[in-house]
Chains A and B, each alone.
Chain A
Amino acid sequence: MSVANAAGMTLPAGSAVDPAADPAAAHGAAHHQDYEGDKTGMWLFLFTEFALFAALFVIYGVYRIIYTPEFHHAAANLNVAAGVTNTVILLTSSLTMVLAVNALQRGENRRSMALLWATMALALAFMVIKYFEWGAKFEHGLYPGSEHLLAMDGGEIVFFGLYFVMTGLHGIHVLLGVGAMLFLLPRIKSGRQSATNYTLTENVGLYWHLVDVIWIFLLPLFYLTN
């Protein structure tokens, strides 16, 4: 039990807990050492992310069996090369991320930071390719609610709706992941994240791999469907 808590418990009647101490910090201190607990919480959060995308996979699954030919036809409009390139980029970013966690666990904070920067650079490359991909669709008049799209078959409208929603939601997750890494970097630099206390880094890593796993499924669902 932490010192602060032990002190709080043994105080005689009427004594106030030291008002100068940050109550949240003092109260939470004991919990932050629970490595397994923090990891459990993170995995539970990942389960909610699974379930979030699962709902979209259910929608995709339903419309795919209703509109099989339309889906195949519409998928031909997607750029397979861009999809596969992005897959390789994201897989590589997952590698740099896991190596960053590994480096931190060995106490090599500088190497860990360099690998995190590499991960973010790859994430950026992913988003740039995504940007050009979406841009090309928009140029062809393909965006939710566009006249060109609404003139198509119902199945194709739904396909592109799913394409934009699912890759868009995934893109938001990529950006959130980059934000988490930016939050992490100063903590590794200052040594608050270290070989003995790396829970936060590991959890950011878990989140990043989840983003990767979801993309692994999106690739065949959209790009490899023709």
Chain B
Amino acid sequence: MLAVDTPGSVRPSPSFLQDAGGRSGIGAWIFSTDHKRIGLMYAAAMFTFFIVGMCLGLTMRLELMFPGEQFISAAAYNRIFTLHGVIMVFLFIVPGIPAVLGNFMLPLQLGAEDVSFPRLNLASWWIYMIGAAMALASLVVAGGVPDTGWTFYAPYSVRTDSSVSLAVMAAFVLGFSSILTGLNFITTIHRMRAKGMTFFRMPLFCWGLYATAWIQVIATPVVGITLVLLMLERTLGIGFFDPGKGGDPILYQHLFWIYSHPVVYVMILPAMGIISEILPAFARRTIFGYKAIAMSSMAIAAVGYLVWGHHMFTAGMSDTARWVFSLLTFLVAIPTGIKVFNWLATLYKGSIELSVPMLYAFAFIFLFSIGGLTGMVNGALSTDIHVHDTAYVVGHFHYTMFGGAGIGFFAGLHYWFPKITGRMYNDRRAKIALGLIFVGFNLLYFSMLIMGILGMPRRYADYLPEFQPFHMASTIGALILVPGLLLMLWNLLHSARTGAPAGPNPWRATTLEWQTASPPPLLNFEVAPEVTTGPYDFTHDPLLQENPA
């Protein structure tokens, strides 16, 4: 993996990349209980799956470039969008930020030497890999890839011959990994903070992870048992979701979204935490409204439990449930708005440095705002009936999930890359990659928003000729986006070996992870840190004192 030489080599302790704690070979990675190595192992696995999911997405876009069947059948198209969804949701974006950056950074930001339960942490990774293997096994076993969509809606998922049972078992196992990670993080935050670090002196990324972990712990079991019931339905015919046996398929949707809506916030809350780290570091100002941002994370997590019904407005719920869920849905906008306004207020009169992480953070705010505002159309009952199950919805959730969580993840990767590897990435290549990603992304997904409003249904392998210009634009966007993503990943991988030494604190940031060497030693800190101020205190920044901005 990242075989990095010690830059500088003046540190008393070797870095975690050299010091495997007495293990060697592949065992130094796959049996390591070091949170930093586990984070990197997650990263290796996840970006592999991300590239697979990306290729599946590109396949769909190429098929849709022209009306009529190009090179994949309608049935194969169903399987491809299902696999794209399953991989991107369950293997990449849900575990993504907590498992990779959370694992790596949480103990460092808290000033701890590891998470509370290091062996459980390793077990989470193994469970994740087992779940991933099961998901990929559904490719080759009899029945083939599920063709239900990633939501596995009953009753079709009960009847289809494709290997739904294996895929839902995979999701169940992956859920277990997610629960254990969440449990570990909550305990770590409660028990492992450095001396002097009260809850309200924690970096905001930790707050994001804390809110996320509560969702992982309490919501994930619900989908776990629901998927087990779906499997029992297929094998034993218990009838919970089968109208012929007294069941109700809509109840499946309720249970599925009881988990799967909160899990949207599992994806976005840590990304918001990352943005809250990057903005003060590159505006060289303390964050505006620290407590408001911290508490709005908790509020989003809490409100997230109340709004799942907005995925089901056209499914046949009672009118009462519909307006109640619609009303509650609009409440989410309040804590989200609090965050965005606080971020903008942080920038105001800051001495802004347009570094790569900062540019990613701006891209996040722009794209996520579009994602959030387009969500209002879905949240309102009357307009949702018009856009329901159209490409508009696909555009909307890609703006939030990819433009929000995904871009936030990339922002965090660039921000902490020098800390993780001890080296700096190529700045020019990183900016070119971001430019390609930003342009390609908007072309790809904004076209979807428009054609959705015009009536293009989602999950269709074919379409009427009048939608062709939008599909063409969308595919061109994908063809710009994909090279951008590949360039970004290649730049990071390449720079991990060849980049210039970064030093312990290249951004002159203030949180604890920057107070130790890059890459950090096995036990993170030479001397256990002590905290006396809030996380974003720039009053002692040397540069600000030389040139007061």
Contact = CB atoms under 8 A, between A and B. Distances in A.
Interface of A: 1, 5, 8-14, 16-24, 26-28, 30-31, 34, 36-37, 40-41, 44-45, 47-49, 51-52, 54-56, 58-59, 62-63, 66-67, 70, 144-145, 150, 153-158, 161-162, 164-165, 169
Interface string B232-247: 1000111110011111
A41 B21 contact: no
A41 B116 contact: yes
B4 to A, nearest CB: 16
B229 to A, nearest CB: 7
B190 A37 contact: yes
Contacts of A52: 221-222, 224-225
B118 A47 contact: no
Contact of B237 (A17, A145, A156, A165): A145
Best-surrounded residue of B22, B190, B244, B525 (most CB of chain A within 10 A): B22
A37 B238 CA distance: 40
A64 B349 CA distance: 60
Contact of B246 (A16, A144, A145, A157): A157
A200 to B, nearest CB: 13
B105 interface: no
Contacts of A44: 182-183, 186-187, 217
A59 B232 contact: no
A180 to B, nearest CB: 16
Interface string B51-76: 00000000000000000000000000
B258 interface: yes
Top 10 A-B pairs ranked by shortest CB distance?
A: A154-B246, A23-B21, A161-B238, A52-B221, A37-B191, A145-B237, A51-B221, A144-B236, A23-B22, A55-B222
A223 B224 CA distance: 27
12 contacts: A24-B33, A27-B33, A27-B523, A31-B118, A41-B120, A51-B220, A51-B221, A55-B222, A154-B247, A155-B246, A158-B240, A169-B225
Nearest to B251: A62
B299 interface: no
Contacts of A63: 246, 248
Contacts of A8: 13, 522-523
Contacts of B523: 5, 8-9, 27
A150 to B, nearest CB: 7
B246 A164 contact: no
Interface string B1-40: 0000000011111100001111100000001111000000
Interface string B106-122: 00000001101111100
A161 B238 CA distance: 5
B13 to A, nearest CB: 6
B13 A13 contact: yes
Contacts of B370: none
Given A62-B251, A70-B246, 12 more contacts: A10-B12, A11-B12, A13-B12, A21-B22, A28-B118, A40-B116, A51-B219, A55-B225, A59-B255, A144-B239, A154-B245, A162-B240
A70 to B, nearest CB: 8
B187 A9 contact: no
A24 B238 CA distance: 45
B218 interface: yes
Interface of B: 9-14, 19-23, 31-34, 113-114, 116-120, 179, 182-184, 186-187, 190-192, 217-222, 224-226, 229, 232, 236-240, 243-248, 251, 254-255, 258, 521-523, 525-528
B113 A11 contact: no
Contacts, number: 167
Contacts of B525: 9
Given A19-B22, A31-B116, A144 B221 contact: no
Nearest to B220: A48
A82 to B, nearest CB: 22
Contacts of A40: 116, 186-187, 190-191
Most chain A C-beta atoms within 10 Å of own C-beta, residue among B20, B179, B190, B240: B240
A163 to B, nearest CB: 10
Nearest to B232: A165
Contact of A31 (B9, B117, B258, B522): B117
Contact of A26 (B21, B238, B251, B526): B21
A12 B12 contact: yes
A59 B240 contact: yes
Contacts of A145: 236-238
Contacts of A20: 22
A36 B191 contact: yes
A27 B255 contact: no
A48 B11 CA distance: 43
A143 B182 CA distance: 37
A57 to B, nearest CB: 11
B116 A9 contact: no
Nearest to B188: A37
B19 A17 contact: yes
B245 A150 contact: yes
A55 B258 contact: yes
B118 A48 contact: no
A124 B159 CA distance: 38
Contacts of A27: 21, 33-34, 114, 118, 522-523
Contact of B22 (A17, A70, A150): A17
